[in-house]
Structure 1
Amino acid sequence: MRIVDIREKTFPIASAIRNAYIDFSTMTCSLVAVVTDVVRDGRRVVGYGFNSNGRYSPGALLHDRFLPRLRDAAPETLITDDGNNLDPFKIWRTLMTNEKPGGHGERSVAVGVVDMAVWDAVAKIEGKPLWRLLADRYRGGEADDRVFVYAAGGYYYPGKDDEKLKDEMRSYRDRGYRVVKMKIGGAPLPEDLRRIEAVLSVVGDGANLAVDVNGRFDLETAIAYAKALEPYGLFWYEEIGDPLDFGLQAAMAQVYKHPMATGENLFSMQDARNLIRHGGMRPDRDWLQFDCALSYGLVEYLRTLAMLKDHGWSWRRCVPHGGHQLSLNIAAGLGLGGNESYPDLFKPFGGFADGYAVEDSWVRLPDTPGIGFEAKADVLTVMRELAE
């Protein structure tokens, strides 16, 4: 068997929303199709991958460096020893040929896109949903039959007042989400507190609301917000400062007693390890948001999970960023703590399989082979246009 073609296309996922740090007016996304010569159920097997929101399309990196390496590789160097399937680990090593360690940046996003497509193809060739394949390989066959998800939204938006913010949150609750998340840090503290209280009037207990700063605060501002947020008992206080400012994160652990979350902008096992070593994260209450689609893919994510185990962390403390089906499969197959969801944003790439309702912030996965894109009509249309 062999890879016969690799295709990439950049798509706009722009909108007028903004968080505390960036707006999404020019946001883009890469879609990759890895075409194989394997046929299942009368169709050629194609694996699909894309990058999570918040990082721009790595299309230039893919075309300049990473896709040529795969195209130039001898086919037998990319498959399992028995020749029956693609080998994600061999493919990962080929992608990273002549890449120096460190400086992970956007390179990790490019590799993550291809890695997602490879795992999709691998599971399709085996005729299994990816969550089942992962459970069989790494968890003794044990898989979760449902995954915790929360609805991410609450962005700043032109003309969006408190009533519209409340309407948005009601819509998530109506669709089965108990826990929701909103953006803060893009307005003065009194205004953000008013917005938080507006959302709490919809979701009730603070344990049903997470807030996200997107890395905006210095230590003084972070502490001021922490003191104001403390009485609410929120689900979590997310990405308070620069993602690489482990000193700030460690200081906040001494100030804020409730759960915190971070990690979505750490793009390697080594950066994740530095967070665990130096960031003061508390394994009894804090949450880790590493997103495999932005951080070299599932191959690297497995290394990150192994590191966490070595440092005494439960994988249940991982709730990946991104709201995509790959992380949902990983959560079910490897036993993570949940997954983010974007019910209304970043279409068609965000969201889960059609016909699987969220119930009290839990969702089930389809038995569709691969990541499950074939069970999501809007994204499948775009994917097959690229592949065929």
Structure 2
Amino acid sequence: MKLTDAREQRVSIASEIENAFISFASMDVSVLALETDVTIGGRKVIGYGFNSNGRYAQSGLLRERFLPRLMEADPTSLCDETGRNLDPFRVWDTVMKNEKPGGHGERSVAVGIIDMAVWDIVAKIEGKPLAVLLAERYGDGTPDPTVSVYAAGGYYYPQEDHRSLQEEMRNYLDAGYTATKMKIGAAPLEGDLRRIDAALEVVGNNACLAVDANGRFDTETALAYARGLNPYQLKWYEEAGDPLDYEVQRRVCETYAGSTATGENLFSHQDVRNLLRYGGMRADRDVLQMDPVLSYGLVEYMRMLEELKIRGFSPRNCVPHGGHQFALNICAGLKLGGNESYPKVFAPFGGFADSTPIEQGRVAIPDAIGIGFEDKRNLMQVFDQSLGK
């Protein structure tokens, strides 16, 4: 088999929301279709990919560097031993040829988009949901039938008051979620504590509300928030300081008794290794949020999981950032600890299959082969309109 075409387009996911660090007023993503010469049921097998929110479209890197490298490669060099399917690891080696170590930056996102589309192809040719394929090849043989998900939101909206935050949290609970997350750090500590109190009036259970500072704080502020948050015993305190400032994370872990979470802005297994070496992370409570798409794809993500295993952490410590079907399949197939979800923003890229609603804070894996994009109508409309059928 071989790849016959690669099509990429930029799609806007702009909104007026803000976290403690950035506005999403100009946010966009790249969507990608990789077409093959394989036909199943009278239709060409096409793999789809896109990048998670929080990083911008990768059009230049994809079109000028990584896609030409992929499409110009000898087709046999991209295939597995049978020659009838792609080998994601060989594809990864091909697109990363002549790339120096380090300097991960935006290229990790571009490669992750390709990787997503490749895994979609591989699972479709095998005739299996990606979660099943991953469990059989790299797990214990059986995927988790459902995955725990939480609703990420609580952004800073223009003219927001506590009532609008409470209404947002109420909508999440009504939609079937039992756990939610809100942003902190764009207001003073006392103001954020009042926002947390307001959210908890709706959520009810402190252990079902997480907070996220998006890397905003210096050491002094991160520790002040740790002390202020300690009495609440929340679900977790996320990304207090810069993601590469492992000293801040270590100090927070020493000060904050509850769970911390970080990792969504780490893009390689070497970064994860350093976090576990120097960041003070605790295997009995802390959460690792690396995003498979933003960090060179599932091929690199499996190397991250090996780093965890070496240092006594479980895959259940991982709750990936991203809130999409690719991460959900990975969570089920490799038995991670849960998955993010975006019920209100970043549509239609966030969220899961149309056939699997959120029920009691969990979502099932659909029977659709591949990643399951075809079971998400509004997302397929974007793919079809942007990339052609």
Normalization by structure 1: what TM-score?
0.99
TM-superposed CA distance for 1:64, in Å, is 1.3
Tell me the residue number matched to 1:218: 218
Structure 2: any 5+ residue segments left out of the alignment? none
TM-superposed CA distance for 1:154, in Å, is 0.2
TM-superposed CA distance for 1:359, in Å, is 1.7
CA contact (8 A) 2:355 2:366 kept: no
Superposed, 1:150-229 pairs within 5 Å as 150-229=150-229
Tell me the residue number matched to 1:63: 63
Residues of 1 paired with 2:188 and 2:153: CA distance? 19
CA contact (8 A) 2:289 2:319 kept: yes
The answer to whether residue 358 in structure 2 is matched with residue 338 in structure 1 is no
Residues of 2 paired with 1:333 and 1:288: CA distance? 17
TM-superposed CA distance for 1:140, in Å, is 3.3
Deviations 1:305-341 (A, max 9, x none): 1111111110000000010111100000010000000
Tell me the residue number matched to 1:102: 102
The amino acid that maps onto 2:203 is V
Residues of 1 paired with 2:265 and 2:126: CA distance? 32
Tell me the residue number matched to 1:378: 378
CA contact (8 A) 1:29 1:51 kept: yes
Tell me the residue number matched to 1:271: 271
SS at structure 2 position matched to 1:57: coil
The ranges of structure 1 where at least 4 consecutive aligned residues each deviate by more than 2 angstroms after the TM superposition are none
The amino acid that maps onto 1:194 is R
Tell me the residue number matched to 2:92: 92
Residues of 2 paired with 1:58 and 1:66: CA distance? 10
CA contact (8 A) 2:144 2:335 kept: yes
Residues of 2 paired with 1:357 and 1:51: CA distance? 23
Residues of 2 paired with 1:387 and 1:76: CA distance? 27
Tell me the residue number matched to 1:309: 309
The answer to whether residue 6 in structure 2 is matched with residue 14 in structure 1 is no
Residues of 2 paired with 1:314 and 1:76: CA distance? 36
SS at structure 2 position matched to 1:49: strand
Deviations 1:18-60 (A, max 9, x none): 0000000000100010100111111100000000000001111
The amino acid that maps onto 2:157 is Y
Normalization by structure 2: what TM-score?
0.99
CA contact (8 A) 2:34 2:46 kept: yes
Residues of 2 paired with 1:139 and 1:80: CA distance? 19
Residues of 2 paired with 1:260 and 1:308: CA distance? 16
CA contact (8 A) 2:223 2:251 kept: no
Residues of 1 paired with 2:381 and 2:75: CA distance? 29
SS at structure 2 position matched to 1:261: strand
CA contact (8 A) 1:287 1:318 kept: yes
SS at structure 1 position matched to 2:379: helix
SS at structure 1 position matched to 2:371: coil
The amino acid that maps onto 1:264 is E
Residues of 2 paired with 1:223 and 1:85: CA distance? 51
Tell me the residue number matched to 2:137: 137
Superposed, 1:207-286 pairs within 5 Å as 207-286=207-286
TM-superposed CA distance for 1:387, in Å, is 3.9
Deviations 1:42-92 (A, max 9, x none): 110000000000000111111111011011111111111210101111110
Deviations 1:127-169 (A, max 9, x none): 1000000001012312101000000000001022100110000
Residues of 1 paired with 2:16 and 2:39: CA distance? 42
CA contact (8 A) 1:289 1:321 kept: yes
Residues of 2 paired with 1:281 and 1:189: CA distance? 24
SS at structure 2 position matched to 1:8: strand
TM-superposed CA distance for 1:358, in Å, is 1.2
CA contact (8 A) 2:113 2:297 kept: yes
SS at structure 2 position matched to 1:344: coil
CA contact (8 A) 1:16 1:25 kept: yes
Mean Cα deviation higher: 303-312 or 95-104: 303-312
SS at structure 2 position matched to 1:337: coil
The amino acid that maps onto 2:204 is G
TM-superposed CA distance for 1:15, in Å, is 0.2
CA contact (8 A) 1:46 1:387 kept: no
Structure 1: any 5+ residue segments left out of the alignment? none
Deviations 1:215-263 (A, max 9, x none): 0001110111111111110000000000000011011111111000000
Deviations 1:150-196 (A, max 9, x none): 00000001022100110000000001111000000011111111110
Tell me the residue number matched to 1:119: 119
CA contact (8 A) 1:291 1:321 kept: yes
The amino acid that maps onto 1:158 is P
CA contact (8 A) 1:31 1:49 kept: yes
How many residues in Structure 1 have an aligned counterpart in Structure 2? 388
Tell me the residue number matched to 2:146: 146
Residues of 2 paired with 1:281 and 1:101: CA distance? 25
Residues of 2 paired with 1:232 and 1:59: CA distance? 43
Q: RMSD between aligned alpha carbons?
A: 0.7
TM-superposed CA distance for 1:383, in Å, is 1.4
